[in-house]
Amino acid sequence: QVQLVQSGAEVKKPGASVKVSCKASGYTFTSYGISWVRQAPGQGLEWMGWISAYNGNTNYAQKLQGRVTMTTDTSTSTAYMELRSLRSDDTAVYYCARVGGYQLLRFDYWGQGTLVTVSS
């Protein structure tokens, strides 16, 4: 069965970086992409970007350009999302989701989420 298992909660200081992992199993990793979505406390979902596990192509949300990097390690079927220069408004639950189909527009399986808290 398809599973996406994310790394554990993180507490970071403003200005620091965080790297969240998303380990995939139960499918051919390179046949899909991974999208990252975050949700601030009590707020809605925000799309952050995607990465193709096939060729490493990425597409990031404009507001995060320059601060976010998404990568994959095909040897371990793991996707990573690194966010730099953290601010308090980056405090959120970060989710990975498998995406496939045309332009990687078909969302299906989701990870359990990783809480990132940014606080001095």
Partner 1 sequence: QTVVTQEPSLTVSPGGTVTLTCASSTGAVTSGYYPNWFQQKPGQAPRALIYSTSNKHSWTPARFSGSLLGGKAALTLSGVQPEDEAEYYCLLYYGGARVFGGGTKLTVL
List interacting residues with partner 1 (CB under 8 A). 35, 37, 44-47, 50, 59, 61-62, 95, 97, 101-103, 105-113
The percent of the chain in helix, strand and coil, each rounded to the nearest 5, is 10, 55, 35
Closest distance of CB 75 from partner 1, Å: 26
Closest distance of CB 48 from partner 1, Å: 10
Closest to partner 1 by CB, 16 vs 45, is: 45
DSSP state, residue 32: S
**Cross-strand bridge partners of residue 18:** 83
